[in-house]
Amino acid sequence: MKHLKKIMSLILTAIMVIAMCVPVMAATVTIDGTSEGGVLQNHTFAAYQIFSGDQSTENNKVVLSNIVWGSDIDSDNFLHELKGDTTYGSKFTYASKPDSLAKVLGANADDPAFAKFVTKTAYKNKKGEGTSIVAGSANNLSAGYYLIVDTTTLLDGQAANSALLQVVGDVHIQVKTDVPKVEKKVRENTKYAHDDGYGSGYNDVADYNIGDMVSFHLIGTVPDMSAYETYYYQFKDTLGTQFDMPDTNNIKVYLSQDKKVDATDVDADVTDKFDITVDSSKHIFYVTAKNEDIKTWADKSYIIVEYSAKLNANAAIGQPGQENKVDLTYTNNPDTNGHGKTKEDKVIVFTYELDTKKIGDGDANKTLAGAEFKLRNADGKWVKVDNNSKVEGWIDNEVDGSTLISASDGIFKIIGLDSGNYTLKETKAPSGYNLPSSPANEFAVELTATTANGQNWSEVAADAYTDLSVKLNNQLGTVDSSKGTATVTVSNEKGSTLPETGGIGTTIFYVVGVVLMLGAGVLLITKRRMSAKH
């Protein structure tokens, strides 16, 4: 029995030793995590076998041995391209077989540029469809080296990246992709002075006069581009016909550590690192990075495009305003150099109309034509309008400002005004009426638009501009908020009544004339009597 026990012990020991050396062919790959721009379950993957081998455990470590070429690689061309590369080819001089090639890969695994080169070369020489991998669960694969490829049809805001790795035991892959983001901001010139990290006044909503220059910022993030040899990065800005297109010389690009341009951004002007193209026919312009420059900016945070555009006579009054937008096209796959696109980001600009109604004697039904006015803004400048009553600009001298004349319905319009304070000055009353008694014939006008100035506009026009009010000398006028029109009323009183033919005025002249004639007769008779006495 003692001998039997000893023999059984030896047999069990032998079995354990043998078990340690028996190849274990099964391995699992689990892809988890989330990808930028969307949850992981929106992505599909495939595994391409580059090498196959035996998986076994030695000294409590899982190793791959007996390495041979896998089923999903054009091995001859793959090895040929590796050896022929001018940068890394020397590393593969003695790598003529799969096992020696695998050793080179293992020895240089800590070099990101080398790993990127091998991965891209493997991607070019893969064949077949690979093995489908379901994200979020363990996928059984035979042991070996695999190229893991994201095969997703990428949505906007997504990117893909491939990886070459040894699959032995249980392998977990964390998906990591980085895509740029873009924002557009418009500068509000009077109502919004907060910074909010974008620079004073820059937000999603603004209102202006027609003819004003409106300032915009396009803000793009700089992504991790380490996996890419080349990188495409292009802003596309769509202004619409309500704005005059900016000249290319007036479009500037800055590199910044934050979302604004200020004195902290030393040597920030990088306009010469971009190609700028304006398509006036479509009211679009493009700002495209030169690859050799943007690839050096991984340590920077933001690219900011700054420009101004004139709000022109095509502007809508009130709703729906002037929406304009930006999107960003970028490289989203280092293996295919495919392009993705961000979601559009919008801002909106509004402008309004002031109607002045001229009436007589306080009677709303007695409209007066021919009254003449001038309009002055809070900066002391006088409005200039075109033949359609639309604002063209502002003039320093009153005499050069437009004369605004009431029509037969008593109304004159000023179309395309910013929210703010103005002064109406009546310079000539209608025939038969006096100028108003208001000091200097001037009236204070307060035009107030309620707008949602901030960084979180819903991109619904009705949420950006919600109300309009107007006052004339603190008296409320009437408004149509949706149409963006505000109406005030100015009344004139009749002048003094002039004498009419046959009236009392002529009677007075007759009486005075008779008195004078009688006086002359008395004087004549008196003179004669005095002459007779002498």
The answer to which of 7-11, 88-92, 123-127 has the lowest mean pLDDT is 7-11
Residue 451 buriedness (CB in 10 A; 0-12 / 13-18 / 19+): buried
Strand partners, 348: 205, 323
Instruction: Indicate whether 480 pLDDT > 50.
Output: yes
Instruction: Indicate whether 165 pLDDT > 80.
Output: no
90's CB contacts (< 8 A; 6+ apart) are none
Cα Rg of the chain (Å, integer): 42
pLDDT tens readout for residues 384-410: 999 999 999 999 999 999 999 999 999
Q: Quick one: pLDDT at residue 4?
A: 37
pLDDT tens readout for residues 91-121: 998 888 888 988 888 888 788 788 888 888 8
Angle at which helices 75-84 and 112-125 cross, to 10°: 140
Between CA 441 and CA 435 the distance in angstroms is: 7
87's CB contacts (< 8 A; 6+ apart) are 117
| Cis bond before residue 499 (omega within 30° of 0) | no
Measure the CA dihedral 415/419/423/427, to 10°: 0
Q: What band does 344 get if pLDDT is binned at 50, 70 and 90? A: very high
Q: Quick one: pLDDT at residue 459?
A: 95
Between CA 465 and CA 207 the distance in angstroms is: 9
User: Which whole-number Å values give the CA distances from 516 to 182, 332, 525, in the listed order?
Assistant: 96, 109, 15
Using DSSP, state whether 36 is helix, strand or coil: coil
Between CA 490 and CA 437 the distance in angstroms is: 11
Between CA 400 and CA 412 the distance in angstroms is: 18
Strand partners, 419: none
Instruction: Indicate whether 503 pLDDT > 90.
Output: no
Instruction: Indicate whether 377 pLDDT > 50.
Output: yes
| Cis bond before residue 320 (omega within 30° of 0) | yes
More confident residue, 532 or 274: 274
Q: φ, ψ for residue 405 (rounded to 5)?
A: -115, 130
User: Which whole-number Å values give the CA distances from 321 to 313, 386, 395, 451, 469, in the listed order?
Assistant: 13, 21, 26, 12, 17
Q: Report the share of the chain in percent with pLDDT over 90.
A: 52
Q: How much is the average pLDDT of 476-505?
A: 79
- For the record, the structure tokens of 146 come out as 């695999």
Between CA 133 and CA 34 the distance in angstroms is: 16
Instruction: Indicate whether 12 pLDDT > 80.
Output: no
Q: φ, ψ for residue 6 (rounded to 5)?
A: -65, -40
Q: What band does 29 get if pLDDT is binned at 50, 70 and 90? A: confident
Measure the CA dihedral 271/273/278/282, to 10°: -110
Q: Quick one: pLDDT at residue 354?
A: 98
Instruction: Indicate whether 378 pLDDT > 50.
Output: yes
The answer to which of 193-197, 303-307, 390-394, 471-475 has the lowest mean pLDDT is 193-197
- For the record, the structure tokens of 69 come out as 């070429």
More confident residue, 338 or 255: 255
Q: What band does 22 get if pLDDT is binned at 50, 70 and 90? A: very low
Q: Quick one: pLDDT at residue 526?
A: 52
Using DSSP, state whether 469 is helix, strand or coil: strand
Q: Quick one: pLDDT at residue 158?
A: 58
The answer to which of 68-82, 252-266, 481-495 has the lowest mean pLDDT is 252-266
User: Which whole-number Å values give the CA distances from 121 to 126, 159, 227, in the listed order?
Assistant: 9, 19, 13
HSE at residue 88, side-chain half, CA atoms within 13 A, is 19
Q: Quick one: pLDDT at residue 81?
A: 92
Q: Quick one: pLDDT at residue 34?
A: 53
Between CA 275 and CA 286 the distance in angstroms is: 8
Q: Quick one: pLDDT at residue 523?
A: 52
Residue type (1 letter), 435: L
Q: Quick one: pLDDT at residue 1?
A: 44
Structural contact between residues 469 and 486, judged by C-beta atoms closer than 8 angstroms: yes
Q: Quick one: pLDDT at residue 273?
A: 93
Between CA 253 and CA 304 the distance in angstroms is: 6
Among 284, 288, 278, 267, CA closest to 220: 288
Between CA 69 and CA 216 the distance in angstroms is: 57
**Among the ranges 22-31, 217-226, 518-527, which has the highest mean pLDDT value?**
217-226
Q: What band does 307 get if pLDDT is binned at 50, 70 and 90? A: very high
- For the record, the structure tokens of 226 come out as 């380490």
Beta strands in 115-169 (DSSP E): 131-133, 138-142, 144-150, 163-167
- For the record, the structure tokens of 378 come out as 């809070």
- For the record, the structure tokens of 31 come out as 């892809």
Using DSSP, state whether 292 is helix, strand or coil: helix
More confident residue, 207 or 141: 207
Instruction: Indicate whether 42 pLDDT > 90.
Output: no
The gap from C-alpha 123 to its chain's centroid, in whole angstroms, comes to 37
- For the record, the structure tokens of 16 come out as 């354990």
pLDDT tens readout for residues 199-246: 999 999 999 999 999 999 999 998 877 677 788 999 999 999 999 999
Q: Work out whether strand 202-203 and strand 61-69 pair parallel, antiparallel, or are unpaired.
A: unpaired
Q: What band does 70 get if pLDDT is binned at 50, 70 and 90? A: very high
Q: What band does 497 get if pLDDT is binned at 50, 70 and 90? A: very low
Mean pLDDT of the chain: 83
